[in-house]
Every structure is written in structure tokens, then in C-alpha cells.
């Protein structure tokens, strides 16, 4: 891997919440942060080919933005093109995509779709793991529980919430590890 790739990180969905916390953390570590979001012309659903091209010189990639099944489609595109290159890809999933984490009390159709999309994404990452043992690429499922962002502002108000910076620390832990991490689930302690 050339030196240029080691200090470049691409973050898809970087302007607020978890993505912003990751961008801030890696800027503080001296990385060249390539942020891609709707605000600068990169829509995860509409611009996948451009996103895949933009990350070519990035050794680290974070797929954070959510727009239906677009995270899954983008991961498949990245894997197809770069699976034999030394890239580390962290995908922000959610415990809502697991049977244990799905809140059965929420019947909102948008939340149900979110859960289904995250469950499918988690399933795909799990399927990739065996093939990844023989590839240069690594893919990490960073699976946080409730995070204190605009998305959860009025939800789960009595539960302890993770800070976006804590999710950023989990991403950093995955990227800096010398061993394979299939999935890292993080939850806030009640105390």
C-alpha cells in the first residue's frame, strides 16, 4: 500500500452525527478526510459510481449515510471493485437490524423499513467474512445501539444513548486493529 492511501479516509455521510464525529477524529489524527454527502454533491443512492471512483486512493472507507438499501448497494459495488486491494471498510449498521435490538413497540413504517434494510446489510457483511479471509480488503460491521443524533432525538428518551464520538472510537478501534473484527456491537451502560 502506498503512503498516500494510508493517510486518506473517505466518509460517506460526513456532515453531522456519527459521520461528523468520525471526520473530526481522523482530522485530529492528521488524515486527509474525503467527505461525501448530499451537501457536496454525493448522494449515496444516485452517485454510487462517482463515490466508488472517489475512494480509489483511500485506504480507509466509512459507509455511514443511510438511504434505504443504498448502503448495501454501495458496499457491494466497493467490494466488487476493490476486494483485492488493501482497503479497510467500516459500515455503520445498527442494533435495530438485529432481532434483539429491534423495538417491537415502534410500528412506524419508516422505522420498520430501516430495521429491514439494516438487517439485510448485516446479513451481507456476515456472508462476506469467509471470502474476506482470502482477500486484501477488510470489512467491519460497526453496530451501535441508540446514538444521540437528530435521528433519535424524540425516540428512546429514557434509554442511555451513545455519543457519536463513541461510535467514532469504535470505528478507529476496528481500523487500527491487527486482527479481524467481523462485528463490533456497542451499547451505552445505564450507569
DSSP string, the chain: --HHHHTEEEEES-SSHHHHHHHHHHHHTT-EEEEESGGGT--TTT-HHHHHHHGGG-SEEEE----TTHHHHHHHHHHHHHTTS--EEEEE--GGGSTTT--TT---HHHHHHHHHHHHHHHHHHHHHHHHTTSS-EEEEEEES-B-SGGGTTSSTTS--B-HHHHHHHHHHHHH-SS--SEEEE-----
Predicted local distance difference test score (pLDDT) of residue 158: 67
d(C-alpha 125, C-alpha 74), whole Å? 12
For the stretch 147-160, pLDDT in tens is 877 666 776 566 77
**Structural contact between residues 74 and 44, judged by C-beta atoms closer than 8 angstroms:** yes
> How does pLDDT run across 68-112, given as a tens digit for each residue?
999 999 999 999 999 999 999 999 999 989 888 777 777 788 889
Average pLDDT of the residues of the chain? 90
pLDDT exceeds 90 at position 142: yes
Mean pLDDT in residue range 167-186: 94
Mean pLDDT to the nearest integer, 59-68: 96
Residue 1 pLDDT: 35
Question: Cell 413504517 maps to which residue?
Answer: 109
Q: Which domains does the chain have, with CATH numbers?
A: 3-186 (3.40.50.720)
Q: Which of 45-59, 66-80, 92-106, 159-173 has the lowest mean pLDDT?
A: 92-106
Asked if residue 2 has pLDDT above 50, the reply is no
Amino acid at each position: 500500500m502506498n503512503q498516500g492511501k494510508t493517510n486518506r479516509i473517505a466518509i460517506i455521510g460526513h456532515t453531522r452525527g456519527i459521520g461528523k464525529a468520525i471526520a473530526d477524529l481522523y482530522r485530529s489524527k492528521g488524515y486527509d478526510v474525503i467527505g461525501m454527502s448530499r451537501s457536496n454533491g454525493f448522494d449515496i443512492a444516485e452517485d454510487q459510481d462517482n463515490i466508488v471512483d472517489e475512494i480509489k486512493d483511500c485506504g480507509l472507507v466509512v459507509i455511514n449515510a443511510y438511504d434505504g438499501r443504498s448502503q448495501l448497494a454501495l458496499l457491494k459495488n466497493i467490494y466488487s471493485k476493490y476486494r483485492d486491494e488493501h482497503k479497510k471498510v467500516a459500515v455503520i449498521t445498527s442494533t435495530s437490524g438485529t432481532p434483539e435490538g429491534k423495538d417491537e413497540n415502534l410500528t412506524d413504517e419508516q422505522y420498520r423499513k430501516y430495521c429491514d434494510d439494516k438487517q439485510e446489510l448485516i446479513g451481507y457483511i456476515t456472508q462476506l467474512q469467509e471470502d474476506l479471509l482470502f482477500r486484501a480488503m477488510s470489512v467491519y460491521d460497526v453496530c451501535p445501539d441508540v446514538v444521540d443524533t437528530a435521528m433519535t432525538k424524540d425516540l428512546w428518551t429514557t434509554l442511555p444513548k451513545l455519543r457519536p464520538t463513541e461510535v467514532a472510537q469504535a470505528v478507529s478501534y476496528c481500523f487500527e486493529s491487527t486482527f479481524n473484527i467481523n462485528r463490533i456491537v456497542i451499547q451505552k451502560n445505564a450507569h
